[in-house]
Chains A and B, each alone.
Chain A
Amino acid sequence: MKSKKKVRWIDAGEVSALRSQAIYHALAYARNEESPDTIVFVRPAEPYVCIGYHQDARKELDLNHCRSFQLPVIRRETGGGTVFIDNMQLFVQWIFAPEHLPRRAGTRFQYFIKPIVETHRQFGIKAAFHPPNDVHVNGRKLVGTGAAAIGNAEVVTGNFILGFDFDRMVGVLNVPGECFRRMFADSLEKYFSNLGRELGAAPPAAEIRNAYLEHCKAVLQRPIGKGYFTEEEEQWIQRIEQKFTADEWVFPEGKTAEVPARRLVKVHADVWVGQCTWRSKSGGELTAVVRLRGKRIDAIRFCESVEMDPPYKLEAFEKMLKHTPFEREAIEETTKVFFELHSVRSENLIPEEFANALVKLKSLTAAAPFSI
């Protein structure tokens, strides 16, 4: 893994949304034996939505919303979920020879994240690596990452988030309904952070870049020097931009536009928001949106009126379910205890049906995630 060769860094400045994604792909495809390992900094001039390589834009995104807000949709070759990116993010992109990074994907992320963590710490934020590939502070996600083997390179990307427009982000996701959207918005607010939020005001991007480069030197133990794109790399950037704007790239054939009735979306490594709908034997359809944190219910909201006598007890029920283990028996038991404790009767909320419907969400845990 060791190399003593100088690492090139390039600050591409503010570029179009498309170019902010095209650069690292282009450098990876252009890479040959002579190419230096490279760290690129870039900020998109305008906001956009970016989906992971294995994601389906028609399934993941509210494309009408994206169109009406003129948000370009770009599909990248790295993994991970949908990201909303705007000018308040400083992108960091590593394009390295595969043999100069740890071979194991998990270790590679940890290695890449170290200087990002140290930079946040230098600015006074108690950031820490959060496995498998995030940076957190006090249970909130600060940085997301992505990686891929592209061309002859290993690419790893991450970002410094100076500030974040939560409302704009919430609108881009294809969700089963407004109930889900509200819970998702609350979850972003609660479980995401950024430099601006932590510090009151984010440091200037150039200051972050310079601090980060010092930490890169320490981690890589290699000299780092400013550089520029070669002519060949510039040509590759244009080639990738053409590829990424083609409909067959953004919407590959064979993908499904189906939006499932049950949905589970990742907020960050420990937090998920899910929705399930079920028909009670006594008649009537019920929908609940649940937020999971680790193996417990973190919040739950019923989306339609649940026949409950007395009716005002529904909110108390939602509160009581908080922290309940996300297991069928525990949910059923908590529901029964609540009914008994508060002398509540319900025609259509049957504890067993409710518990069964909720835990079915477990089967969706491998669903494509949504994250910053």
Chain B
Amino acid sequence: MAYEKINECFLVTDLYYSVEDNTWVRVNDDGTVTVGMTDVAQSLAGPILHARSKKPGTARKKGRPIGTVESGKWVGPVKSPVSGEIIEVNEELESDAQMLNRSPYYKGWIVKMKPDNLEADLADLVTGEAAVEAYRAKIDKEGITCTHIEGTETPEA
């Protein structure tokens, strides 16, 4: 799996990213997308205690919350990087929310969605080298260094 590491923050380069909202999109073969939060997002939040997603069948506009996470006593939304319908949620997060910290790009995926207009939404996201550059700028500007809890599954492994 191709990845980049910037200030200890992992970035899987074949994903599409909303750099502003710290979310990623994986385009699946059947036209659906898998959505999750980035390594930067889990680092800024800290160890996550609760994660809750909207139910399958929920229609979401881009930028609207598809779920919430709670770390310590802070609660924040996970904003959808695409418009569409939630078709599946990662139920494992209900009992093991720290999966979001340990495996943000793989086992810690949040929802699967059937996008309304994927092409248009992907045009607003960045991938590959453009994503690396955008994140490098963000990480430098905001002085972010990623941290990982015990048991983290990194792309290096």
Contacts and interface: CB of A to CB of B under 8 A. Distances in A.
Interface of A: 52-54, 77-80, 103-106, 108-109, 132-133, 144-149, 254, 366, 368
B45 interface: yes
B151 to A, nearest CB: 14
Contact of B70 (A54, A104, A106, A109): A54
Interface of B: 43-46, 49-50, 52, 55, 68, 70-77, 97-98, 142, 144
A80 B71 CA distance: 9
Contact of A109 (B44, B72, B75): B72
Contact of A149 (B72, B75, B98, B144): B75
B46 A133 contact: no
Given A54-B68, A132-B46, A77 B75 contact: yes
Contacts of A133: 72-73
Contacts of A53: 68, 70, 75
Contacts of B144: 103
B146 to A, nearest CB: 11
Given A103-B44, A104-B44, A149-B77, A132 B72 contact: yes
B142 A105 contact: no
Contacts of A52: 70, 73, 75
Nearest to B71: A105
A79 B44 contact: no
B46 A103 contact: no
Contacts of B77: 149
Contact of B49 (A104, A109, A147, A366): A366
- Which interface residue of B74, B75, B97 has the most chain A CB atoms within 10 A? B74
A133 B144 CA distance: 20
Contacts of A145: 73
A79 B52 contact: no
A304 B101 CA distance: 41
8 contacts: A54-B68, A78-B73, A105-B71, A105-B74, A147-B72, A147-B73, A254-B55, A366-B97
- Which interface residue of B43, B52, B75 has the most chain A CB atoms within 10 A? B75
B72 A106 contact: yes
Given A79-B75, A106-B46, 4 more contacts: A105-B44, A105-B45, A106-B72, A109-B73
B76 A146 contact: no
Given A52-B70, A53-B70, A104 B46 contact: yes
B72 A148 contact: no
A147 B74 contact: yes
A78 B46 contact: no
B101 to A, nearest CB: 12
A144 B72 CA distance: 12
A149 B75 CA distance: 6
A79 B142 contact: no
Nearest to A105: B74
- Which interface residue of A53, A103, A105, A133 has the most chain B CB atoms within 10 A? A105
